[in-house]
Amino acid sequence: MKLGDEPDYPAILAEIQAQVRPYVGQGAVADYIPELAKAPLDRWGLAVATLDGRVYTAGEAEEAFSIQSISKLFSLTLALQLVGPTLWERVGREPSGDPFNSLVQLEHEAGVPRNPFINAGALVVTDVIRSHVPDAAQAVLDLIHRAAGDEAARFDGAVAQSERETGHRNRAVAHFMKSFGRLRNDVDEVLDAYFHHCSISMSCADLARASLFLANRGRSPYTDEQLLPAEWTKYVNALMLTCGTYDAAGDFAFRVGLPTKSGVGGGLLAVMPQGFAACAWSPGLDRVGNSIAGAKALELLAQATGLSIF
């Protein structure tokens, strides 16, 4: 189909709900953070926000979950608002070819992260924000509220605390970059802000709304605020496509054909430029760390709407 013909979303979502069922419950919940291990394996949800602001849903699309790395979309947007393209002097824009928390490439490349979506890169982004605002995590949350036009998103203190106590790999990454002089603020402060914005809790519907500006040349249909220039919005979408799902970016480009960002809470946020923002969620993860049922839902959505950037 061509852009412009509006798909019949209610029918499409009903059909997806039927087909995605067998995948719900597959995989394992993230257990490296104790608090995340409590996520309910049997849930799933899907929400599609279209440019006119309407939101179509299926499953538990109103149930809040931990957005984790999907928050990197908003911290990146905020950092671009604050420092513009000079951000790219501090973090690269290339796929890493390594797991999201690998230190190997970081060592070979003297502490400069490959892109803003691997953990190292997201920590640099948080460090950039921290240099401009006293409470970086709150600033990310504020941006989400402004983008969504509501205040549904909130911090989950238990998740942040759990990650603070057990996030040794992220601590290693942060101190490693500090040893190369790549973080300008106090390591513990940066980690704290990072753990906090990763702990934000939202539903599929909330996330679809808050991300819709990425499908709409940078403007939120809810508040009409231009959150990013159209050109930079394309950059964020391009990064999502090439780097948004870690080691599975190629696989997602194949199966889904849309820029997508994943989080270990089981969320997946996909953008069809000029089309929609869609959020699928289910806590069961595959080996790489992406939601199994969520990925299936997005694949079915792309097939049913015929929408793909390729």
Q: Does 179 bind a second copy (CB under 8 A)?
A: yes
Indicate if 72 belongs to the active site. Answer: yes
Please give the Cα distance from 121 to 35 (Å, whole number).
24
Q: Does 102 bind a second copy (CB under 8 A)?
A: yes
User: Choosing from 173, 220, 246, 256, which is the catalytic residue?
Assistant: 246
Please give the Cα distance from 272 to 141 (Å, whole number).
24
Indicate if 264 belongs to the active site. Answer: yes
Mention every residue, 6+ apart, whose C-beta is less than 8 A from residue 287.
Answer: none
Please give the Cα distance from 70 to 236 (Å, whole number).
12
Indicate if 262 belongs to the active site. Answer: no
User: Choosing from 48, 55, 71, 72, which is the catalytic residue?
Assistant: 72
- Is the Cβ of residue 152 or residue 272 nearer to a second copy in the bound state? 272
CA dihedral 163, 60, 116, 95 (to 10 degrees): 110
Q: Are 78 and 226 in contact (CB under 8 A)?
A: no
User: Choosing from 24, 264, 271, 291, which is the catalytic residue?
Assistant: 264
Dihedral sign, Cα of residue 253, residue 258, residue 261, residue 267: negative
Q: Does 107 bind a second copy (CB under 8 A)?
A: yes
Which helix (H) or strand (E) segment holds residue 66: the answer is strand 65-66
Q: Which stretch binds a second copy (CB under 8 A): 7-15, 18-26, 44-52, 233-241?
A: 233-241
- Is the Cβ of residue 85 or residue 157 nearer to a second copy in the bound state? 85
Q: Does 93 bind a second copy (CB under 8 A)?
A: yes
- Is the Cβ of residue 158 or residue 238 nearer to a second copy in the bound state? 238
Give me the least distance between CB of 308 and a second copy, in Å please.
6
Indicate if 194 belongs to the active site. Answer: yes
Which helix (H) or strand (E) segment holds residue 300: the answer is helix 292-305
Give me the least distance between CB of 55 and a second copy, in Å please.
23
Q: Which stretch binds a second copy (CB under 8 A): 11-19, 92-100, 152-160, 204-212?
A: 92-100
Q: Does 89 bind a second copy (CB under 8 A)?
A: no
Q: Does 5 bind a second copy (CB under 8 A)?
A: no
Enter the DSSP assignment of 185. Answer: S
> Burial level of 201, CB count in 10 A (0-12/13-18/19+)?
buried
Q: Does 309 bind a second copy (CB under 8 A)?
A: yes
| Cβ count within 10 A of residue 22 | 10
Q: Residues 2, 5, 52, 89: which binds a second copy (CB under 8 A)?
A: 2
Q: Which stretch binds a second copy (CB under 8 A): 63-71, 193-201, 221-229, 246-254?
A: 246-254
The arrangement of strands across the sheet holding 45-50 comes to: 55-59, 45-50, 276-281, 267-272, 260-262
| Cβ count within 10 A of residue 178 | 18
Task: Give the residue numbers annotated as catalytic, written as ranges.
Answer: 69, 72, 194, 246, 264
Interface residues with a second copy (CB under 8 A)?
2-3, 92-98, 102-105, 107-108, 114-115, 168-169, 171-176, 178-179, 187, 233-235, 237-239, 241-243, 247-251, 253-254, 257, 259, 273, 308-310
